[in-house]
Amino acid sequence: MLAAVRLRGHTSMRKEHEDTLSMLGLKRVNTLVVLSENQATKGALTKVADFVTWGELSKEAEQQLAGKVHRLKPARKGLKSIKRHYPKGDLGYRGAAINDLIKRMM
Angle at 33 between CA 19 and CA 89, to 5 degrees: 85
Boundaries of domain holding 99: 2-105
The pLDDT value given to residue 67: 76
CATH number of domain containing 10? 3.30.1390.20
How many CA within 13 A on the CB side of residue 38? 4
In total, how many domains does the chain have?
Answer: 1
Instruction: Give the pLDDT band of residue 5 (cuts 50, 70, 90).
Output: very high
For residue range 71-90, list pLDDT tens digits in order. Answer: 999 999 999 999 999 999 99
Q: Which among 67, 53, 62, 40 has a CA at the least distance from the CA of 7?
A: 53
Measuring CA to CA, which residue among 39, 52, 42 is closest to residue 13? Answer: 52
Residue 13 clears pLDDT 80, i.e. is over it: yes
Each residue of 35-76: pLDDT tens digit?
999 999 999 999 999 999 999 999 998 888 887 789 999 999
Q: Which amino acid is at 86?
A: Y
